């Protein structure tokens, strides 16, 4: 007979979560982002009361702030499909379907993650939802930032997502109505 501790085999599936939040004004730079895409220095950021963090998510520079819906899905992709492209397209689809509820035609832009309006109309492209994720052992982290009533002036001080010559928009700007926020 063997002596020792017998470990109980784990039989329960991990629990998946979707966390929603709103941030104080902050710029975050993804792990492969370029610092030159933030166009203002520390002193000016301090005056504008916006913080800056380098993070381990994918993507480049973005802004998070009040009245922007930020979602952090913490999913075990082994329970669904261990494929990051599939996961990102499904995150985009959730936002596209949400926008359709407001009679807005959200779409993808070839080679660029996130959700756009008029993605295929040169000079009219507008990003409404940014995405930056990280995944470790098929557990997802980080997520999306959907501009609802977001103060878009903060995007003037960065090259959003490292993409030049395209604009950022919000539900408020597109529909001309201010959404009631959960505060």
Q: How far is CA 123 from CA 45, 97, 171, in A?
A: 29, 24, 19
Q: Which of 161, 163, 168, 171 is catalytic?
A: 161
The pLDDT confidence band at residue 96, using thresholds 50, 70 and 90, is: very high
Q: Phi first, then psi: give them for residue 104, nearest 5 degrees.
A: -110, 140
What does DSSP assign to residue 102?
A: T
User: With 70 as the cut, is the pLDDT of residue 99 above it?
Assistant: yes
pLDDT for position 181 = 73
Q: Which domains does the chain have, with CATH numbers?
A: 18-174 (3.30.930.10)
Distance CA 105, CA 99 (A): 7
pLDDT for position 3 = 57
* Tens of pLDDT, residues 6-57: 555 666 778 999 999 999 999 999 999 999 999 999 999 999 999 999 999 9
Whether 23 and 53 have beta carbons less than 8 Å apart is answered as no
**Verdict on whether the full-model pTM lies above 0.85:** yes
Report which of 150, 146, 168, 162 is spatially closest to residue 112, judged by C-alpha positions.
162
The backbone region for 102, taken as left when phi is positive above 0, alpha when psi lies in -120 to 50, beta otherwise, is: alpha
> Any catalytic annotation for residue 135?
no
* Tens of pLDDT, residues 122-180: 999 999 999 999 999 999 999 999 999 999 999 999 999 999 999 999 999 999 999 98
User: With 50 as the cut, is the pLDDT of residue 58 above it?
Assistant: yes
> Residue 72: which H helix or E strand, with range?
strand 68-74
Distance CA 180, CA 19 (A): 20
User: With 50 as the cut, is the pLDDT of residue 1 above it?
Assistant: no
- For the residues 113-124, what does the mean pLDDT come to? 96
The dihedral formed by the CA atoms of 29, 35, 41 and 46, expressed in degrees to the nearest 10? 10
- For the residues 50-76, what does the mean pLDDT come to? 96
Distance CA 59, CA 18 (A): 20
User: With 60 as the cut, is the pLDDT of residue 95 above it?
Assistant: yes
> Residue 128: which H helix or E strand, with range?
strand 126-136
Q: Count Cβ atoms below 10 Å from residue 126 Cβ, excluding itself.
A: 17
Scanning the chain, the segments in alpha helix (DSSP H) are 42-47, 84-100, 171-175
């Amino acid at each position: 007979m063997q002596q020792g501790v017998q470990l109980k085999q784990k039989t329960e599936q991990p629990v998946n979560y979707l966390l929603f939040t709103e941030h104080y004004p902050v710029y975050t730079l993804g792990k492969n982002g370029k610092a030159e895409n933030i166009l203002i220095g520390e002193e000016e950021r301090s005056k504008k009361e916006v913080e800056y963090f380098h993070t381990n998510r994918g993507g480049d520079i973005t802004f998070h702030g009040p009245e922007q819906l930020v979602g952090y899905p913490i999913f075990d992709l082994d329970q669904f499909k261990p494929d990051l492209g599939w996961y990102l397209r499904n995150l985009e689809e959730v936002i596209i379907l949400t926008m359709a509820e407001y009679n807005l035609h959200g779409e993808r832009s070839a080679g660029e993650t996130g959700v756009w309006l008029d993605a295929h109309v040169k000079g009219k492209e507008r990003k409404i939802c940014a995405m930056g994720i990280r995944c470790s052992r098929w557990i997802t982290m980080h997520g999306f930032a959907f501009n609802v009533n977001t103060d878009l002036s903060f995007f003037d001080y960065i090259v959003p997502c490292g993409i030049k010559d395209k604009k950022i928009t919000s539900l408020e700007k597109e529909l001309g109505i201010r959404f009631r926020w959960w505060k």
